[in-house]
Chain A
Amino acid sequence: MTDTIIELRNVWKTYPMGEVQVHALRGINLKIKKGEFVAIQGPSGSGKSTAMFMVGCLDVPTKGHVFLDNKDISLLQESDLAQIRGKKIGFIFQRFNLLPTLSAIENVELPMVFQNVLETQRIKKTKSLLKSVGLEERMTHRPTQLSGGEMQRVAIARALTNDPQVLLADEPTGNLDSKTGEEIMRFLHILHKKEKRTIVMVTHDKNIAKQAERQINLKDGQVL
């Protein structure tokens, strides 16, 4: 039990869509161990994004329990969830999701701003992270001045700023050409192998999913 970092126990998520209730998740059970590289795979509408939101503390289940580091988060308030996200989770999105008005360095700094980290410390950390993803030359560029691959590398650096226990990657290669996609995947492998980070990747692409250690297949809100 101790090496389980995330556990979803009989998790249901229901969204009201007009008159009807849509069940995005129907009683999902899954466990992710510390240091694992897991791919949650399924076609669109399978509930994989909803599952990722649960794992990432962005949402709480309608029914059931989500445990992060043995702590039940399903009953927490939004402000507590925000704290957990800021400290324990690092997000990498399909569309990079960088703030367009901020430079690369400011984007990477941002999670530390929300954690009240001192400015000198922030800058030091940010610079070393951007260097590690090979962007030391482009730190002051805005997202619009960066290529897709560069933006995703900034996003990876941002996800790592607060030393999260879990990296969540939502279709990380979805908006990139195959060559750049491979490069990003190489980064994820390095983070997994060398830094022993737990990575949960959500994708509809079987070839990408195969690169993970383990695959969880979802369909119609249930684990196959």
Chain B
Amino acid sequence: MIKDYFRFAFRSITNRKLRSWLTMIGIFIGIASVVALISIGQGMEDAINEQFESMGSDKVMVMPGGEGGFGFGAFSADPLTENDLKVIEKTKGVDKVAEMFYKNGRVKFKDETKTILVIGLPTDESADVITSMEGFEAEKGRDLKNGDKYKVTIGWRFWNEDIFEKSVNLRNKLEIEGEKFEVVGLVKRIGNPQDDAQIYIPIEVAKELFDDDEISSIFVQVKKGYEPSEIAEEIKEELRDYRDEEEGEESFQVQTFEQLMESVSSILNIVRAVLIGIAGISLVVGGIGIMNTMYTSVLERTKEIGIMKSIGAKNSDILLIFLLESGTYGIVGGVIGIVLGLSMSLGVEKIAAMFLGTDLLRASITLWLVGGALAFSFIIGCISGVFPAKQAAKLKPVDALRYE
């Protein structure tokens, strides 16, 4: 019986092609935007989680500057120093500590000079706290090692893209702040265009070169069996005592990667919710479009309703026929919307990879998303049809038959 009702629904939808298309446009624009946003949002979160996971969750990061930011580049009146490093090293639960230095420097290759972010990395065994986490590992050649002086490893874009006129290769010479360095390693792709345009030199050399002994950030490896968030608190307390600062007014930040991940994903969630909410409005409008079409349809087919009732259709049959018809509007609009939405998000992924060089924007296509969107569009269709269908069902057979 349901099968027959679906057939009637399709018949009456295809019978009024133009109106049906116009009705469904409302739904598929809404579904397409929601699907595209969810797909990209989910893909982005997956990508970020992956990045964080590769960094390792057993690490804590200490940076200069007060609360209110994370990542690199906070300028501070109270920079971190070697002494802070020592305090952290002695804190309970800390396994290894690595410092990192970075500054923009003038880099010359052949006859071109560019301003490039130069990162100073330790050359002892503490380096792998940073390299494993940040992905600064050489794909060709080798990493910086103990005893290296004027050696440099270069980001992915130097040897694959267009930072300099010619791509840089192993054993080429780069002039950094006037000193000649030999390229010993080509770093693998990180996936973020900024990160892929950095170069790495031994930290001691970097400090000398820039005549600066500030520490840009400190990476802490937590001992096995210790909770990173507890160790982070521990470090905060020790540093506060050492630097004689009040709680809440620290001139440095201590963050675990879990916290970092949480704050990133909570921002992402808010952005996503707002965007999906906006797209959701178009779905509501689409639903109202269906409702309008269904009311018109009930009015036009009053006589048909009378006929169906005279040959034995119960109120519930009429209700079901009209509900399925509006549900069909929803589901057909939904199918088109899903196809459109997924192509949109795949397009965004391709464009982002091509023009921005990032793989952070990617489309996540799950069965759950497709199935959910399909069910949702059907439900929207049905809900929009409830009132018109009720109106149709309660028509008196005599009145409906007499209607011209």
Contacts and interface: CB of A to CB of B under 8 A. Distances in A.
A associates with B: yes
Nearest to B310: A91
Interface in B292-309: 303-304, 307-309
B259 interface: no
A59 B317 contact: no
Nearest to A53: B398
Contacts of B11: 101-102
B398 A110 contact: no
B401 A85 contact: no
Interface residues of A, number: 27
A10 B55 CA distance: 91
Contacts of B8: 101-102
Nearest to A91: B310
A131 to B, nearest CB: 20
Contact of B12 (A98, A101, A116): A101
A82 B309 contact: yes
B118 to A, nearest CB: 74
B305 to A, nearest CB: 10
B314 A110 contact: no
Contact of B307 (A86, A87, A97, A116): A97
A70 interface: no
B273 to A, nearest CB: 43
Interface in A69-103: 78-79, 82-83, 85-87, 91, 93, 97-102
Contact of B4 (A79, A86, A113): A113
Interface in A109-140: 110-111, 113-116
A158 interface: yes
B304 A82 contact: no
Size category of the B interface is 20 to 34
A114 B312 contact: yes
Nearest to B10: A101
B314 A114 contact: yes
Contact of B310 (A78, A85, A113): A85
B310 A56 contact: yes
A58 B304 contact: no
A164 to B, nearest CB: 10
Nearest to B404: A95
Interface in B354-404: 396-398, 401
A124 to B, nearest CB: 16
Contacts of A116: 1
Given A58-B398, A101-B12, A91 B314 contact: no
Contacts of A78: 314-315, 396-397
Interface string B311-341: 1111111000000000000000000000000
Contacts of B397: 58-59, 78
Contact of B316 (A59, A79, A110): A79
B1 A82 contact: no
B307 A99 contact: yes
A21 B12 CA distance: 39
Contacts of B12: 101
A113 B314 contact: no
Given A56-B310, A97-B307, 5 more contacts: A93-B307, A98-B307, A101-B8, A101-B11, A111-B311
20 contacts: A78-B314, A79-B315, A79-B316, A82-B312, A82-B314, A82-B315, A83-B312, A83-B314, A85-B309, A85-B311, A86-B312, A86-B313, A87-B312, A91-B310, A91-B311, A97-B310, A98-B307, A99-B308, A114-B308, A158-B311
